[in-house]
Amino acid sequence: MVLVWLILIPLLGALLAWLGGRWSSACAQGIALVAMLASLALSLWLWRNGDYSLTGAGFTASLGVLPQWAFEFRADWIQSLGISFHLGLDGLSLLMVVLTNLLGAVAVCCGTRDAGTRPGLFYFNLLWNLGSVIGVFLALDMFLFFFCWEMMLVPMYFLIARWGQDAPGGRRREAAALKFAVYTQSSGLLLLLAILALVFFHQQATGVLSFDYHDLLNTPLRRDVAWLVMLGFWIAFAVKMPVVPLHTWLADAHCCAPAAGSVDLAGLLLKTGAYGLLRFGIPYFPEVAHELAPVAMWLGVLGVVYGAVLAFAQTDLKRLVAYSGISHMGFVLIGLYAGTEQALQGVVVQMIAHGLSAAALFMLCGEIQARLQTRELGAMGGLWATMPALPPLLLFFALASLGLPGLGNFVGEFLILLGTFSVAPLVTVVAALGLVLAVAYALIMVQKTLHGAPHRVGTLAALDTPTLGLIAVLGLLLVGLGLYPQPVIDLARPSVQAVQHLYAAGGAAGAGVAADAALDTEAVTTGAPQ
Amino acid sequence: MNAIQFDATQFGAMLPMGVLSATIVAVMLGIAVRRCHRVTAALSMLGAALALVCALPIWLGGTGPVVVTPLLTIDPQAGFYMLLVLAAVLGVLALCPAYFAGYAGDREEIYLLILLGGLGGLTLAGASHAATLFIGIELLSLPMVAGVAYAIHDRRALEGGVKYLALSAGASATLLFGLALIYAGIGRLDLGALAAALAGAGADTPLVLMGGAMLIAGLAFKLSLAPFHQWTPDVYEAAPAPVAASLATVVKVGVFAVVLRLLHAGGGTAAAPFVNVLVVLALASILIGSVLALRQDNLKRLLAYSSITHFGFLLIILVAPGAGTSAVAAIYLLTYVVTALGVFGAIALASSPAGARDRELLGDYRGLFQQRPWVVAALTLMLVSLAGIPVTAGFIGKFSVLVLGVAAGQWLLVGGLLVGSAIGLFYYLRVIGALYAAPPSGSPAPVATGATVAVRWSAGAVMVLLAVLLTLAIGVYPEPLLQLLRP
C-alpha cells in the first residue's frame, strides 16, 4: 500500500495545488512542495526499511524463478483483460523514485518565476507529470506501465505550450510542445502495439491472458516475432532517451520549456527511457537484445559524439545543455547493451549523476536568462565580474558534465567504459574520445558565459538563498556520488545483476541457436537453457 | 394471417418506442396549442428519460429475443443500443435550451426533430426486417435534414440541409436497390436471411454480391465512411451544434446497430469480398479523415473528420470474427458517444446563446481559457479522450479495439489505427494549444476582454459535467463496464 501512496501523494498534491492556486501562487507552490517533500520522505523511509538484496537472488528468470521485490502491491484492476494494479519496488526503482522526488521538489521550487497567471494549473501539470513518472518506475503491469507512460505526455505538453517561452529563431513554443507530443505519442503507440503483441503471443503459448511483468517474462517467441516486438519497445524507449536519429524533439522542447519543465524533462523523463530498457526492453528479449547490441552500442557512440559536437556548436545556452544530455545518454545506451555488471552499474550511476547535473545546469540557465533576458552565448560574457555566486556554480556543474573525477558523472562514465571494454573495445575507444569533446563543449560554455569582457556594466542581482541552497544540495550530492558511490551501487546491485544474468543467458542461448540454425531454421528461441 | 396480438413481454419490449412516440405526439400537440420553449424542452427530456428507464430492463433482463411482429426483434443487444440512442438523444436535448435561448425563430420544433431521429434510432436497434431497416434509416435521416437547415434564413444552413437531403436520398436509393437485388437473389427480406446471404456470398450469387455492395455503400454513407464522406464536414459545419451532436451520435449509433446485425450476425463476418471492401473502407476512412483534419481551422469540420476516423477504427470489429467482438463494439461506441456528446456540448456551451454563427473557428477559441476556464477544461478533456490518451474513456475504447485487432491478426488495420491516432494527436493538440494560447491582440471579440464568465447552470452544463465524470470514471476503472457489456 505504501507504494500506492508514492504515486498518490503527487497526484493528490496536484489536485490540491490546483485548488490552492485560486488563493495565491505561494499557496499552490507550498502545497506542491509539501507533497513532493512528503513523497521524498516516504521514499527515503523505504530506503531505510527495505531489504533490497532480494531481486537478484530470485530474478534468474531463465531458471523459471520469479523476481522478488522489496515492496510489492497488487490489486485487481481490469480482471476481464488480465490487468492488475501491480507495483513493485527494488533497488533500481527506489533510486529512480528518490531521484524523481528530489528533482521534483527542485522543479517545484523553480516554478516561482514560471508559474505566471495560472499557478494552480502550472503546479497541477508539474505534479501530475511527476506522479506519472513515479508510476512508470514502479509499474509491474504492462497496461499500468503504458497508462503512466502516456499520462506523462499531456501535462508536459501543457508545461511547454502554456508556460514556456518562444525561442529565438522563430521557434514557437506550441510547435515545440507539439513536436514533443507527437514524437512521444507515436512511439508510445508502437509500445502499446508491442505490449499487446507480447501479451497475445503469451496467451497463445500458455492460454493465460495477462499483462503482468512476471507472466510475460519468458514468453516464448519466434525469432522474427521477437525482433518486431522488441523493436516496438526499443523505439519507444529510444525516443525518450533520446537515441540519436530520434532525438530531434529534445533541443526544441528544452529551449521552449520553462526552467521547471527542463529540470523535469532532462532529469526525469529521459531516464524513463533508460529505465524502460533496463526493466523491460532487455529482460523480455535477452536474445534479440544481444543481436541488436552492436547496432545499439554504435548508436550510443554516435549519440556521444554527435551530441557533443552539436553542443559545441550551439549559440543558445539551453540548447547547449540539451545536446550535452544527448551525449550523456549515449553513454547510457552503450552501457545498457554492453550488459556487463560494471557497465550496468555505470548506467545507474550515470543516470543519477546526469539527472542531478542537468537539473542544476538548467536551473542556472533559467537564472541567467532571468537576469540577462537572453540565452544567446554571444550576448553573454564576463559574468564572473558582474555576478556573485553563480559563476563558480556554473563552472562546477560544467566540470561535472565533462566528467571531472571526484564527481558523479565521472564514476558513471568510467564504469560504463570499463565494463564495455571487455565486450566491445572499439566502441569503448571511440566513446572515450567523446569525453574529450565533452571537455570542449563544457569549457566553451564556461568561457563564453563567464569570461571575457562584460557586455553591460553594473552587477546583476545575486542568486536568492533558496535557489543557492537547492543548487548547493545538488552539487553536494554530485560530490557524494563521485567520492563514495558505494551505497548507490550496493542498492542497485541485485537489480543490475538480475538484468546482467538474463542478458548473459540470452547471449548464450542466442549463440546456441545460431549453431543449431543450420539444422533447424524454425528454431523457437526461448529464455530457458536447452 | 391473424391479427397481431401482444402479450406482456412484447409490450414491455415495445415500451421504449411507445413512450418515445407518445412523447413526440405530446410535444407536437403542445406546440400546436401554445408555444413555450421551457415546457417543450422539459417535456421532451422527460419523455426521453422515461423511455430510457423503460429500455433498461430489456438490456439487463438478459432474456432471449422477444419477437414483436416479424419486423422487430428486441434482444439484449437491441436493448443496449436503444439505451445508447436514448442517452444520446437526452444529451442532445439537454444542449438545446441554452443554445436556442437567443434564437430568433421558432425554437420548439427542434425538440420534435431530435425526438423523431431518436425514434428512428430505436427502430434500427430492434430492426429484424429490411422494411424496418429502411423505415428506421429514413426516420433517422429526414428529421436531421430539417435540423441541419433549422436556421432556414441562413444561406449556409439551407445549403447544408439541401446537400444532406440530396445525398442522403441518393444513399437511401442505393441502399434500397441493394436490398431489392438481394431479395431477387434469395427471395427473403428478414435480416437474419440477409445476413446469412451476405456471409455466404460468392461468385455463384452475383445478385447478392451486387446487392451487398450497394447495401454497404448506402450504409457507409450514413456512417460517413470514406469515400462516402464528402458531405460530412459541410453538414456538420452548417448544422447547429446540437444537431451536429445528434448526427455524430444518434444517427451513427443507430446505423451501426443495424450494421452489426447485417455484417456481423452472431459474431461471424461477412463473405470474403465484403470483408475486403470493409478493410478498404476502414483504411480509407482512417487515413483520409485524419489527413484532412490536419490543417483544419474550423472546429466543427475537424470533429467531422475526427468522426470519420473514429468509425474507421470501429470497422476493425466487423472484420474480426468472434463472440467477444460485439462487446468491444459496445464499449467503443459507448466511449465515443460520451466523448462526442461532451465535445459538442462544450462547443454548444461556448457558443450559447447561439448568435448567427457558432463559435467554431480555431481563432474564436484562442485564449478562451481566460474567459471560460471550466468549459475549456471540459473541452480539453474531451479532446484528449478523442485522441485516446489514458485516464479518459477514449483510451479504453481504443485499447479494446486494438486488443481485438491484434488478437484477430488484422495487422494492416491495426497499423492504420496507430497511424490515425498519431496524426490525431497532432490536430487535437493544435486545438488544445489554441484554447490556452494568449488571446489575439486587438481582437474585437469579447474573448479579449479577459473577464471570466461565470458558469451558468443549464441542462447542457449538467450534461457536459456528467460526460466529464463518466469519461474519467471509465478511463480509470473500466472493469464494471466491461463486466456489464460482457455477452
Q: Give kind and range of the element (H or E) at residue B321.
A: none
Inter-residue long-range contacts of A365-372, CB under 8 Å, 24+ positions, other chains counted: A365/A259, A365/A262, A365/A317, A365/A318, A365/A321, A366/A110, A366/A113, A366/A258, A366/A259, A366/A262, A367/A463, A367/A467, A368/A317, A368/A449, A369/A317, A369/A318, A370/A113, A371/A460, A371/A461, A372/A460
Q: Per the domain annotation, does A530 fall within a domain?
A: no
Question: What's the whole-number mean pLDDT along residues B355-374?
Answer: 77
Task: Provide the 3-class DSSP secondary structure of residue A72.
Answer: strand
Q: Per the domain annotation, does A252 fall within a domain?
A: yes
Counting the structural domains of chain A, the total is 1
Q: Per the domain annotation, does A527 fall within a domain?
A: no
Residue B418: list chain A partners with CB under 8 A.
Answer: 186, 189-190, 192-193
Q: Per the domain annotation, does A521 fall within a domain?
A: no
Q: Per the domain annotation, does B2 fall within a domain?
A: no
How close, in Å, is residue B437 to chain A by CA atoms?
7
Residue A192: list chain B partners with CB under 8 A.
Answer: 399, 402, 418
ipTM for the predicted complex comes to 0.89
3-state secondary structure string across A304-322? HHHHHHHHHHCCEHHHHHH
Q: Does A231 touch chain B (CB under 8 A)?
A: no
The amino acid sitting at B383 is: L
Point out the residue among A78, A182, A190 whose CB comes nearest to the CB of B479: A78
**Residue in the block written with cell 413512450:** B19
Residue ranges of chain A whose pLDDT lies below 50 = 57-58, 517-530
Q: Does B422 touch chain A (CB under 8 A)?
A: yes
The amino acid sitting at B339 is: T
How close, in Å, is residue A150 to chain B by CA atoms?
6
Model confidence pLDDT, tens digit, residues A70-111: 888 999 898 888 899 999 888 899 999 999 999 999 999 888
Largest CA distance in chain B: 75
Residue A151: list chain B partners with CB under 8 A.
Answer: 389-391
Average pLDDT value over all residues in chain B: 88
Q: Per the domain annotation, does A259 fall within a domain?
A: yes
Point out the residue among A161, A182, A193 whose CB comes nearest to the CB of B433: A161
Let me know how long chain B is: 487
Cell, residue B357: 454563427
Residue A153: list chain B partners with CB under 8 A.
Answer: 389
Model confidence pLDDT, tens digit, residues B275-320: 999 999 999 999 999 999 988 889 999 999 999 999 999 999 888 8
Chain A segment 334-373 residues within 8 A of B by beta carbon are none
Q: Does A79 touch chain B (CB under 8 A)?
A: yes
Q: Report the 10 Å Cβ neighbour count for A30.
A: 15
Cell, residue A211: 499483462
Let me know how long chain A is: 530
The amino acid sitting at A478 is: L
- Residues spanned by the domain of A122: 2-514
Model confidence pLDDT, tens digit, residues A252-287: 898 888 888 899 988 899 999 999 999 998 888 888
Mutate to test the interface with B, among A77, A80, A209 (most CBs of B within 10 A): A80
Task: Provide the 3-class DSSP secondary structure of residue A156.
Answer: helix
CA B414 to centroid of chain Cα atoms: 23
pLDDT at B28: 93
Q: Per the domain annotation, does A523 fall within a domain?
A: no
- Residues spanned by the domain of B263: 8-485
Residue B486: list chain A partners with CB under 8 A.
Answer: 80
Q: How many helices (H) and strands (E) would you count in chain A?
A: 23, 4
Mutate to test the interface with A, among B374, B432, B477 (most CBs of A within 10 A): B432
pLDDT at B272: 87
A375 neighbors A368 (Cβ within 8 angstroms):
yes
Inter-residue long-range contacts of A157-161, CB under 8 Å, 24+ positions, other chains counted: A157/A181, A157/B429, A157/B432, A158/A121, A158/A125, A158/B436, A159/A122, A159/A125, A159/A126, A159/A129, A159/A257, A159/A258, A159/A260, A159/A261, A159/A264, A160/A253, A160/A256, A160/A257, A160/A258, A160/A261, A161/B433, A161/B436, A161/B437
Q: Per the domain annotation, does A522 fall within a domain?
A: no
Chain B segment 374-413 residues within 8 A of A by beta carbon are 384, 389-391, 395, 399, 402-403, 406-407
Q: Give kind and range of the element (H or E) at residue B208.
A: helix B206-222
User: Which one, of A326, A335, A313, A316, lies nearest residue A354 by Cα?
Assistant: A326
pLDDT over 90 for what percent of chain A? Answer: 45
CA distances from B386 to A157, A218, A272, A528, B295 (A): 17, 36, 26, 43, 17
Q: Per the domain annotation, does A407 fall within a domain?
A: yes
Under 8 Å CB pairs connecting chains A and B tally to 72
Q: Per the domain annotation, does B1 fall within a domain?
A: no
Q: What gap in Å lies between CA B78 and CA B266, rounded to an integer?
A: 13
Counting the structural domains of chain B, the total is 1
Q: Phi and psi for B239 in degrees, rounded to 5?
A: -75, 150
Question: What's the whole-number mean pLDDT along residues B26-30?
Answer: 94
Q: Phi and psi for B463 in degrees, rounded to 5?
A: -60, -45
CA angle B30, B32, B35 (to 5 degrees): 70
